[in-house]
């Protein structure tokens, strides 16, 4: 029915949206439709206040801010981990906010990748985000092994998605660890993490997931699935800010395992300031911390996680699917014949963003920015669009597709070079 593709219909969807009021919680960019929240989420007013609170504590308390005030810094990584745990289906002490995606992956591999007794290989996939591959290669080399031989990258059948059966087939008796992304960063495919965890454990293999593109956009049940470990950034769907602290999950059955990379903030907090040279690790996920936490990169999470826990991830996921579904419908109706190909899954195995290919993708992204619409380009010919449930609207989705059509009809993209900028 044609009314579905009208501006009036989009507005009726916004009027019925139970999450609509959260849009006012965010610092929106003036006269701009921001669809890049899967790369960097927008600042919330609560996060802004949380940073100001840390600055005020530093200003008025100095070093006593570590142990005094409403939110003592010494315990902030654990407190934020507790707030974040529901988003990954974990128990509060299984999550800690610390490090960064890559640093945390190195820590987890240094801990859990122990090649011995013929189990020397790591399984990942050829679509993984490059930083994960670099870390896996590094950890294999640090064990004195050849990454070319001991890193197995499962092939994609179509260049965009993975078949779980292909991954399971790669779980041979030579495999020690499996590391995969919960949501593929390009196509947005959501892997069946429960199925893969069960398959790995049935073969005596440890398994962990990169949740950078899934946390805050899709539900997880890491503890229920029995997943061994996971790691993620917090600046995408969690709106933690540029360079915000990362986080990791370790299943409680692994508590007591000596961290591969020990550091003083992984200590038992009651012993940390004894300043002994014998490391006594914390009895929870906090053991996997290393150096002193960066408070100013953690503070925004206090505000953003509060919003998530109010809104509820099920409601966020429901609206996310509705937004991306509506955008796919509009693209199919308005842009047929313009050369666009939607590469993300059409069903609910898609995450919080769409992945669209076009031979002129880089140019089109620049033309969209000229129209005050912020997309995300991925070489060689991919456009990622992420209508975020907490601050984007159905009207913005409608406007974006209309602008795309205008750009294609007027060929205004041709005035730009078809290549990415320094930062895509």
In a domain, 41, yes or no: no
Buried-state track 228-264, b at ≥16 Cβ within 10 A, e below 16: bbbbbbbbbbbbbbeebbbbbbbbeebeeeebbbbbe
* One domain, residues 27 and 148: no
Q: What is the mean pLDDT of the chain?
A: 97
**Is residue 421 included in any domain, yes or no?**
no
Q: What is the pLDDT of residue 418?
A: 82
1 pLDDT more than 90: no
pLDDT at 331 over 90: yes
Binding site, annotated residues: 101-102, 129-132, 210, 213, 235, 264, 292
Task: Please check whether residues 88 and 172 belong to one and the same domain.
Answer: yes
Residues of the chain with pLDDT > 70, as a percent, come to: 99
One domain, residues 209 and 342? no
Q: Mean pLDDT, to the nearest integer, of 319-328?
A: 98
Total domain count, the chain: 2
Same domain? For 306 and 329 the reply is no
- Mean pLDDT throughout 97-108? 98
Residue after which a domain boundary falls, among 260, 293, 310: 310
Q: What is the pLDDT of residue 424?
A: 61
Q: Are residues 112 and 236 in the same domain?
A: yes
3-state secondary structure the chain: CHHHHCHHHHHHHHHCCCCHHHHHHECCCCCCEECECCCCCCCEHHHHHHHHHHHHHHHHHHHHHHCCCCCCHHHHHHHHHHHHHHHHCCCHHHEEECCCHHHHHHHHHHHHCCCECCECEEEEECCCCHHHHHHHHHHHHHCCCCHHHHEEEECCCCCCCCCHHHHHHCCCCCEEEEEEECECCCCCEECCHHHHHHHHHCCCCEEEEECCCCCCCCCCCHHHHCCCEEEECCCCCCCCCCCCCCEEEECHHHCCCCCCCCCHHHECCCCHHHCCCCCCECCCHHHHCCCCCCHHHHHHHHHHHHHHHHHCHHHHHHHHHHHHHHHHHHHHHHCCCCCCEECCCCCCCECCCEEEECCCHHHHHHHHHHCCEECEEECCCEEEEECCCCCCCHHHHHHHHHHHHHHHHHCHHHHCCCCCCCCC
User: Per-residue pLDDT tens for 26-47?
Assistant: 999 999 999 999 999 999 999 9
**What is the average per-residue pLDDT within 112-138?**
97
Tell whether 17 and 106 lie within a shared domain. Answer: no
pLDDT at 113 over 90: yes
Question: What is the pLDDT at residue 145?
Answer: 98
Does 318 lie in the same domain as 306? no
Q: Does residue 115 fall inside a structural domain? A: yes
Mean pLDDT of 319-334: 98
Please indicate, yes or no, whether residues 91 and 123 belong to a single structural domain of this protein. yes
Q: Please report, for the domain that includes residue 293, its CATH number.
A: 3.40.640.10
In a domain, 424, yes or no: no
- pLDDT for 49 equals 98
pLDDT at 282: 96
Contacts of 358 (CB under 8 A, 6+ apart): 338, 339, 340, 341, 364, 381, 383
Predicted local distance difference test score (pLDDT) of residue 417 = 86
Residue 329 — very low, low, confident or very high, per pLDDT cuts 50/70/90? very high
Tokens of 331: 């693209």
Region 115-143 average pLDDT: 97
Q: Provide the pLDDT for residue 358.
A: 97
CA distances from 71 to 68, 75, 286 (A): 7, 8, 18
Which of the four pLDDT bands, split at 50, 70 and 90, describes residue 419? confident
pLDDT digits (tens, 9 = 90+) for 222-261: 999 999 999 999 999 999 999 999 999 999 999 999 999 9
- Structural domain of 368: 2-31+312-415
Residues 143 and 272 placed together within one structural domain of the fold: yes
187-217 confidence digits (pLDDT tens):
999 999 999 999 999 999 999 999 999 999 9
Cite the annotated binding site for pyridoxal 5'-phosphate by residue number. Answer: 101-102, 129-132, 210, 213, 235, 264, 292
**pLDDT 10s digits, 354-376:** 999 999 999 999 999 999 999 99
For the record, the structure tokens of 201 come out as 């454990």
Same domain, yes or no, for 267 and 358?
A: no
Q: Are residues 70 and 188 in the same domain?
A: yes
Q: Is the pLDDT of residue 22 over 90?
A: yes
Give the pLDDT band of residue 422 (cuts 50, 70, 90): low
Residue found by looking up tokens 């602290």 in the block: 245
């Amino acid at each position: 029915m044609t009314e579905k593709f009208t501006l009036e219909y989009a507005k009726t969807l916004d009027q019925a949206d139970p999450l609509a009021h959260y849009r006012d919680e965010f610092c929106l960019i003036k006269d701009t439709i921001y669809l890049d929240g899967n790369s960097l989420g927008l600042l919330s007013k609560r996060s802004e206040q949380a940073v100001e609170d840390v600055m005020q504590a530093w200003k008025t308390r100095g070093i006593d801010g570590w142990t005094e005030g409403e939110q003592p810094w010494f315990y902030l990584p654990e407190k934020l981990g507790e707030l974040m745990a529901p988003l990954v289906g974990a128990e509060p002490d299984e999550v800690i906010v610390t490090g960064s995606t890559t640093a945390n992956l190195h820590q987890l591999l240094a801990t859990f990748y122990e090649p011995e007794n013929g189990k020397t290989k790591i399984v990942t996939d050829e679509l993984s985000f490059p930083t994960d591959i670099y870390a896996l290669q590094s950890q294999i080399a640090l064990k004195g092994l050849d990454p070319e031989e001991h890193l197995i990258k499962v092939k994609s059948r179509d260049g965009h998605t993975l078949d779980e059966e292909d991954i399971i087939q790669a779980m041979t008796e030579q495999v020690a660890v499996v590391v995969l992304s919960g949501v593929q960063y390009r196509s947005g495919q959501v892997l069946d993490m429960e199925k893969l965890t069960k398959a790995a454990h049935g073969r005596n293999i440890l398994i962990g997931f990169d949740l950078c593109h899934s946390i805050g956009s899709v539900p997880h049940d890491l503890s229920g699935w029995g997943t061994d470990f996971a790691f993620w950034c917090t600046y995408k769907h969690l709106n933690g800010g540029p360079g915000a602290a990362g986080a990791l999950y370790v299943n409680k059955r692994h508590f007591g395992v000596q961290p591969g990379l020990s550091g003083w903030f992984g200590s038992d907090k009651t012993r940390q300031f004894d300043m002994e040279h014998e490391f006594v690790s914390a009895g929870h996920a906090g053991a996997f911390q290393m150096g002193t936490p960066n408070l100013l990169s953690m503070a925004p999470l206090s505000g953003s996680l509060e919003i998530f826990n109010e809104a509820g991830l099920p409601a966020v996921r429901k609206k996310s699917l509705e937004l991306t579904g509506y955008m796919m419908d509009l693209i199919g109706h308005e842009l047929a014949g313009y050369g666009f190909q939607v590469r993300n899954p059409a069903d609910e195995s898609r995450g919080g963003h769409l992945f669209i290919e076009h031979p002129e993708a880089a140019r089109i992204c620049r033309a969209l920015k000229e129209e005050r619409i912020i997309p995300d380009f991925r070489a060689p010919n991919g456009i990622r669009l992420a209508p975020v449930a907490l601050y984007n609207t159905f009207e913005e989705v409608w406007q974006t597709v209309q602008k795309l059509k205008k750009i294609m009809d007027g060929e205004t993209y041709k005035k730009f070079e078809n290549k990415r900028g320094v930062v895509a």
